Amino acid sequence: MPAIIGPCRSPKRRHRCRWSACTNATVGWFGGSSGHCAACRGGDVVHCPDRQIPGLSYVGGWSTTITVPASALVHVPDGMPLPEAASFGCAGVTTFHALRYSGAEPGDLVAVLGIGGLGHLAVQFAAAMGLETVAIARDKREAAVELGAYSCTAKATSKARSSNG
Ligand SMILES: [Zn+2]
């Protein structure tokens, strides 16, 4: 599911926004959780039995307005163009969390499989985190290196293997 992005408004100012400059926010596939079950208390909010998903648990991106639990929102920095920020709402969160919780430390080797919607962000995050980043993708070597991978490799297809002997 693509991320939903737009202006953030606290309902009738009943809640004080936790962001000092609350202008734009985004939400991805994860749209909230109970916050009190065993999974949530253990930090595994994605497996909360009461997990919410925009478009399924409440209205989604086709509506003109949407109410999202604050815990599921990601603040969009002022000045960041919304089309550029939108990819961080879902693909960015997914890849960043995977890297953050991987246990990898600067200098460790990380492989990113595929340089598509998620992979191009994963390569950039991994490189920025100081990880030795290898991309695995066909025909994307130049893009992968430009994004921060120190190397890009591709698994040979059966056709390529047979033609190479
Ligand atoms: Zn929960």
CATH code of residue 121: 3.40.50.720
Residue 111 C-alpha to ligand 1 middle, in angstroms?
Answer: 31
Residue 18 has a pLDDT of 58
Return the pLDDT at 165: 34
Residues 111-160 have pLDDT tens digits of 999 999 899 999 999 999 999 999 999 888 889 999 999 887 876 555 54
- Domain span at 164: 102-165
- Ligand 1 centroid–CA 58 distance in Å is 17
Confidence of residue 48 (pLDDT cuts 50, 70, 90): very high
Mean pLDDT score of the chain: 84
Looking at the whole model, is its pTM more than 0.75? no
Rounded mean pLDDT, 8-29: 65
98 DSSP 8-state letter: H
In the chain, pLDDT over 90 holds for what percent of residues? 43
Distance 28 CA to ligand 1 centre (A): 17
The verdict on residue 90 lying in a domain is no
Last residue of a domain, one of 25, 49, 81: 81
Report yes or no: 33 and 45 within 8 Å, Cβ to Cβ.
yes
6 close to 59: Cβ distance less than 8 angstroms: no
- 74 pLDDT tier (thresholds 50, 70, 90): confident
* 60 Cβ neighbours under 8 A, 6+ residues apart: 1, 4, 54, 66
The answer as to whether 97 is a domain residue is no
Give the Å distances, CA to CA, from 7 to 22, 28, 73, 106: 8, 15, 11, 36
Asked if residue 87 belongs to a domain, the reply is no
Assess contact for 134 and 127: CB atoms under 8 A: no
Residues 55 and 120 grouped into a single domain? no
Q: Which of 50, 81, 112 is the last residue of a domain?
A: 81
**Number of structural domains the chain divides into:** 2
Q: Is residue 12 part of a domain?
A: yes
**Do residue 111 and residue 72 come from a single domain?**
no
Q: Cα of 46 to ligand 1 centre, how many Å?
A: 8
